[in-house]
């Protein structure tokens, strides 16, 4: 019998996997307090008040559900392919390989877009996939790890969009979507929060008659970093 469950250890949740009497632990990035975890229910104790901590834990819980669903798929595929001829290490190594893909911008955004589409938010889902497609094109066709997104890369991406003479609102559309995906990954514990904000100088305003003109947007990041 294959068992997998979350275990609270050293101020965080780890994923425990046991098969044929051999157990392994997969370190996760869900940093919580002991009082925030219900081991019997395998659920986080999320406060009812609308606080930053509540939003953080809610993001963790959504990501944890994805983790368990992914583990079920991995176990099912191993059983179909090998019967019972696999080990705990096979399960863990396969999970880690898949998890590495989850931390890529394109893979993560695709997961978010699918969830949004299922919730009826198809316009936002299309915005996410379209933005990531533009970003990957800018990066010479290569996807990128979420935690490799830097201020320099975001600024270069923005300047490439400006060079295409896009309208301010179109520019803002792409930058807001990219920032939303990145912030979602942080809130769900996919990546740690950086001390420097990659989107500090990103243009995310909505253009109105009295908004800054595009010539001001072009030099915005340069002025703030000079």
Does the residue 115 lie in any domain?
no
Predicted local distance difference test score (pLDDT) of residue 190: 80
Does the residue 145 lie in any domain?
yes
Q: What 3-state DSSP class applies to 68? A: helix
Does the residue 210 lie in any domain?
yes
Q: CB-side exposure of 178: number of CA atoms within 13 Å?
A: 29
Its domain, for residue 72, covers 3-102
Helix pair 168-187, 52-82: axis angle to 10 deg: 80
Two structure tokens written together for 55: 């939003």
pLDDT in tens, 80-124: 999 999 999 999 999 988 877 778 899 899 989 998 999 999 999
* 84 and 129 belong to one structural domain: no
Q: Are 88 and 22 in contact (CB under 8 A)?
A: yes
Please give the model's pTM, rounded to 2 decimal places: 0.67
pLDDT in tens, 130-178: 999 999 999 999 899 898 999 999 999 999 999 999 988 999 999 999 9
* 10 and 73 belong to one structural domain: yes
pLDDT in tens, 15-56: 999 999 999 999 988 999 999 999 999 999 999 888 989 988
Sign of the dihedral through C-alpha 96, 97, 98, 103? positive
């Amino acid at each position: 019998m294959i068992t997998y469950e979350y275990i609270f250890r050293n101020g965080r949740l780890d994923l425990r996997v046991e098969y044929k009497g051999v157990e392994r632990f997969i370190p996760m990035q869900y940093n919580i307090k002991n009082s925030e975890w219900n081991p019997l229910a395998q659920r986080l104790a999320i406060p009812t008040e609308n606080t930053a901590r509540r939003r953080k834990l809610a993001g963790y819980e959504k990501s944890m559900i994805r983790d368990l669903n992914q583990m079920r798929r991995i176990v099912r595929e191993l059983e179909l392919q090998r019967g019972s001829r696999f080990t705990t290490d096979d399960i863990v190594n396969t999970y880690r390989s898949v998890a590495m893909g989850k931390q890529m911008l394109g893979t993560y955004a695709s997961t978010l877009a699918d969830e949004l589409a299922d919730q009826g938010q198809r316009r936002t889902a299309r915005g996410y996939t379209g933005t990531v497609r533009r970003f990957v094109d800018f990066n010479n066709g290569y996807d990128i790890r979420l935690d490799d997104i830097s201020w320099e890369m975001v600024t270069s991406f923005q300047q490439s969009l400006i060079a295409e003479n896009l309208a301010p609102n179109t520019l803002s559309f792409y930058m807001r979507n990219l920032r939303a995906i990145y912030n979602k990954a942080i809130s769900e514990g996919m990546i740690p929060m950086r001390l420097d904000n990659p989107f500090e100088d990103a243009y995310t305003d909505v253009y109105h008659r009295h908004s800054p003109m595009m010539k001001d947007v072009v030099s915005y990041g340069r002025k703030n970093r000079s």
